[in-house]
Amino acid sequence: MRRQMGWIYLASGLIYSAQMTFATLYALGHVHGVIIGKGVWSQLYFGHFLFTVLAGMGCLGFHFLKTGTFAVQTLVDFLIGLACFIVLFGLTGAALIGRLVAPWFSLTPAAFLLYYGGCLLSGRALLRRFEIKSAQG
């Protein structure tokens, strides 16, 4: 189950990296002949966020329907990844708006999503303190 969530975070990281690479190239003036309004950017960011949330919740829901058990550890993994992404997204956006960092710093949340997805794919949590101990073991 954790590995399935890892695939979701990897896919989310790949989508976000492509999106932010294009946005950075656009902002630096390297994409010619294309004009994209603010509303479109907001929709792209929201679409990515919606994909991540719906895919993660869908994964949990399908697991429950298939097995009849709720995967609490996977929910914790999902929520930690989502919370960390939201915080990184906000901090990165603030740093970019304040011109405190180079434009390519916008890929930091994507790097986190890819790293976290890799951690989950390998069967590890981000931090061991978030591992839920079973009553049987």
Distances (CA, A) of 31 to 6, 23, 25, 40, 48: 32, 9, 6, 16, 21
Write out the chain's pLDDT in tens, 137 residues. Answer: 889 999 999 999 999 999 999 999 998 989 888 888 888 988 999 999 999 999 999 999 999 999 998 888 889 899 999 999 999 999 999 999 999 999 999 999 999 999 999 999 998 776 666 666 654 43
Of 34, 40, 23, nearest to 96 by C-alpha is 23
Q: What is the per-residue pLDDT for 133?
A: 63
Q: 7 Cβ partners below 8 Å, 6+ apart? A: 117, 121
| Predicted pLDDT of residue 136 | 42
Alpha helix segments (H runs only) across the chain: 2-27, 38-67, 72-97, 108-121
How many whole angstroms separate alpha carbon 9 and alpha carbon 119? 10
Tell me the C-alpha distance between 48 and 43, whole Å: 9
Closest CA to 21 of 103, 92, 82, 118: 103
